[in-house]
Every structure is written in C-alpha cells, then in structure tokens.
Structure 1
Amino acid sequence: MSTRTLFPFCASPSGLEAEQEERQIALEYLADAWNAADTDGIDTEALAHAALFAAIATLVRDYGEEAVAKLIGNIPDRISNGEYTLDRVVQ
C-alpha cells in the first residue's frame, strides 16, 4: 500500500481552487517519484538538483528566460518567509 505525501500550498492570489488542486496532485506525483528514487539509493541532493534543473528548464521553455529570471529572483524572499518550509508552524 502506497502512502501519498501531501505538501501544503499557500493560496494563490487568484484563489483558483482547481489550480490549487492540480498543483497538489502534481506534487503528489513528484513525491512518489522522489520516494522511489530515494528507496533506490539515489542521493537526495542529486534528486533536488535534477528536479530544479527540470523545473527551471520547463519554465524557460514555456515562459522565456526573462520571466523565469524574474521569478527565480523572488525565491530568496519566499524562502525567508517560510513558503518552502514543510514543517513550519503558522501562528
């Protein structure tokens, strides 16, 4: 029996529930693949680098280099604000 890993998502500004649900499902697929690779002994740092490369390359293909560079430029603040901390306690 497989257990799905659930990732929390901050609500998008548009508040589109369908988009939120699709992203959650996509993260569940990625969690399954991540867990399978981890079980096979693939180093998690190598997994993270491969996932980042694939994600950024896909975004560049779909939106262009300038738009993605702007998006990536916002990530340090989002990290500092806890958006990527899975075990964060919100008060």
Structure 2
Amino acid sequence: MAETVQQEMERLLTEAFNPTRLEVVNDSAKHSGHMGDDGSGESHFTVAIEAPAFADKSRVERQRMVNKALGDIPGERVHALAIQASAPTP
C-alpha cells in the first residue's frame, strides 16, 4: 500500500531532522470546497516539529529547512502548509 502524503511527510521529516517532537496534522477537511482543495483529502497540513537542527536558526531558516526536506510536496502536491518549527529548550 502506498504512503499517504501525511505518512510521507512524517517519514521525510524524521529522516531529515530526527525530531524530539513531530506532529503532522491533516487540516484538509476544514478547507473542503475552498480554493486549493483538490478533492484528495490531502491538500492542507500543519507541521509542528522540534529538533536540535533548528537551534540558532531564524523562523524563516527553519521553514526553509522543512520545505527543503519535503521536496516537491509543498506547493506541488499540497496547497497549504503551516510550519511551527522550534529547537528543544535546554
């Protein structure tokens, strides 16, 4: 069975960052019938990720790192992606 987009995102982010916390939430149902809803049920996501790799990085740098790790998913296969990326607090 093929991975869902959510499962693929979880796998890619885990491989890239070995996060201490990762939550990928499918928000697509909240946007059903809205712009960007392609009917797949996998068009809108929120990612909350905490990883040491984000230490000393700005919010924009963290978001770029997440987008890079996800490859063609943001903007190509997913219409909207909210990213909450942080480093663990010591």
User: What TM-score do you get using the length of structure 2 for normalisation?
Assistant: 0.30
Higher helix proportion: 1
Computing the radius of gyration over CA atoms, which structure comes out larger, 1 or 2? 1
Structure showing greater relative contact order (alpha-carbon pairs closer than 8 Å, 6 or more residues apart): 2
Higher strand proportion: 2
User: What TM-score do you get using the length of structure 1 for normalisation?
Assistant: 0.30
